[in-house]
Amino acid sequence: MKQTVKTTLATLAAAVCWVLAHPALAQQEPVPMRGADVAATDQAPEVKKYLGGKPGGQDKVARTFDGQPPVIPHAVENFDEVTLDENQCLSCHGADTYQKKNAPKVGDSHFRDRDGKLLKNAAAARYNCSQCHVPQVDAPPLVANDFKGAVTVVKSGKKN
């Protein structure tokens, strides 16, 4: 008998033995972890509205660890245009506009390049704000967890 045939027979015999030893398990249908059959098309998640209204009416959201980019407490739907010519976030949070708009100024760290050199304007690496600062939705965590955060660095409710 050829080696491959021998191996196949041995595998088959092992499978038969396993089914005989675990009849209940062998009958059980596998339960997919994502709740749908492998071949089923993914369902788009429910669209949720971001929390918060017009900038100026919200309290800041407490930070939960040192170095966390603060989350955006206000609505962003009409204020999120970031293009080469225009950055609506900077039109309120920029060093030359924040006082007039009564908005918190971009972080001091945003005025340093990657070598730590102080710049006149916010560094280009910080131009795409929503890469780090994210609006919030009221949604349950995707995975249950007991994260507590480092409460010593919490800053909240304070403007500017």
Which residues are at the interface with ligand HEC (CB under 6 A)? 55-58, 60, 67, 69-70, 72-74, 76, 79-80, 87-93, 101-104, 106-107, 109-110, 122, 126-133, 159
Token representation of residue 120: 């006149």
How far is 125 from 22, CA to CA, in rounded Å? 59
Shorter beta-carbon distance to ligand HEC: residue 12 or 132:
132
Q: What is the number of alpha carbons within 13 Å of residue 13 lying toward its C-beta?
A: 6
Smallest distance from ligand HEC to CB 128, Å: 6
CB of 96 to ligand HEC, least distance (A): 13
Nearer Cβ to ligand HEC (64/91): 91
Find the shortest distance in angstroms from Cβ 27 to ligand HEC: 53
Buried b (16+ CB within 10 A) or exposed e, 64-94: eeeeeebbbbbbbeeeeeeeeeebebbbbbb
